Structures are given as C-alpha cells and as structure tokens.
Amino acid sequence: MKIDAHQHFWLYDPVRDAWISEEMQAIRRNFLPNDIGQILKDNGFDGCVAVQADQSPQETAFLLELAQVYALIKGIVGWVDLFASDIDEQLAAYKQHPKVKGFRHIVEGEGNPDFLHQDGFLRGMEALTKHSYTYDLLIRPRHYASTLKCVAANPQQAFMLDHIAKPPIKTQEFTEWADFIGELANFSNVHCKISGLATEADWKHWKLDDFSIYIEHVIQCFGKDRVLFGSDWPVCLLAGTYEDSIRIVEDKLADFNQDELNGFWGDNAVKFYGLT
C-alpha cells in the first residue's frame, strides 16, 4: 500500500487559522479530501494519514467525520489535551474509533523549551503508551533538549518526527540540526517523516540539491526502515506542487532496493500507524 503519511484538511476559518499569514494566500481556503483524491490516484497513492492542524477536540472529531466519508483517509493523528486530568478516560473512549492512530501537539508554537518534559505532559505520554497510541513530534530547535529527554523517559512509546525537525534549509545551516538528528535516531522507538521540506527552503527559488545533505543525513541516521514519505499537503503548495514534494525525495533514494522503496513509500507508514 502506497501512503502519503502527512496531509491536512480544513474548512478555513480566519480566526482559528490565524497561523495562515498574509504570505500564505495560496492556502487561505478550504482543503478537503475531494481536492487531493485524484492527485493521490494519479501518483499511485492508495491513501493518506490525516494530521491535526488545530488544537481542539473538535479537530479530531472533524477528521473522524471525514474518514467516515472518504476511504482515502487510512489513519488519523488527532489532538488531545495530554495535560487533562481525565486523559486516560479520553484515550479509552477513542478506542471505539479505530482510524485514530495517534496524536500530536503543535509544539513548534510553544515558547517553553521544556514543553515536552513537563510533569503533566509526561503523565499524558504514559497514557498514550498504555493505550498504544503513536505521538508525532513537531518541534523547533529550542525544543531539541526536551525532546531528547521526553523520548528517553518513554522507551515504549512510538514517536514520529515530523518534517525531519524542520532544518534551516533556506540558509543551509546544518550542524546543530544534524547533531540533534544523530542523537534522536539512537532511540529505536523514533521514526521520521521526510516531509514538509520545500516550505523550509526558499519558496520561490529552491533547487533539488538544496535538500540533499538533510535527506541523506536522516536516512543515514535512522536507516531505511524508519523513514517514510509525507507531502504536508496542502501546506506544501506554498512552495510548489504536490509532485514537487515527491521529486524532492525520489532522486535521493537511488540505493534503496525494491523492498526498501516499498517501505519508504508506504509500508513503513502502514507498520508504524497500524493502517489497514
């Protein structure tokens, strides 16, 4: 099964979606599965993982509603308040919705560098592990240290690093990010989405070579069985087409054999998220 492991859907709301700034006019509108279904089919994909873009229980409910209508949504990474006193009960209730595979918080928007290592958050993480849910990591450099602490404290939790931790591709800085990736990849319970890269580059003038050192480093550190593809559609449209998100990675996979390619383009996502 060929899977795009990172897509978003929304009914655009200028207040709720204030993160979509003036320079992001291209995505200031509704994006629903009908808008991507034919594109996925044209590129040989069987479906996608829908990932939260808003931090509310209503977001998870919205994605669940879409998944009931659109078969292309194979799994959902929703949002839940991991600090909630009733987190255990909330997660137990989600078990009646098998397409909910995991959860994410937009940690990159949190100013607290220790967000991922707060006592309340770690209690929520223990509940995730108990109920066998995955957790997607969306971070910035200020969160590197607490990310490593959080992962070290939760060796049984399945983590997915989104967008290879958003390296500074536009400026071609490398060392700080590369050192972090090397440390994080030492934890075998962490996987990595090679996704959302064009929007970290110069939106109008990126070249395929701009991404080489970052993708090669991630593959070298995580290995071929812990990396997988995600487009970050529709956010990727800020810097190119859906096909561009494929081109950015496909020419970096020359030494993958067929089984490894099958893993990268879908099987690794199926295994990590438990897709059917």
- The pLDDT value given to residue 253: 97
Backbone angles phi, psi at 203, to 5 degrees: -55, -35
Q: Are 12 and 28 in contact (CB under 8 A)?
A: yes
For the chain, domains (ranges, CATH) are 3-273 (3.20.20.140)
Q: Which residue has the tokens 């994605």?
A: 63
Q: Report pLDDT for 168.
A: 97
Phi and psi (nearest 5°) for 148?
-65, -40
Which ranges of the chain have pLDDT less than 50?
none
Q: Which pLDDT belongs to residue 206?
A: 98
What per-residue confidence (pLDDT) applies to 91? 98
Q: What per-residue confidence (pLDDT) applies to 124?
A: 98
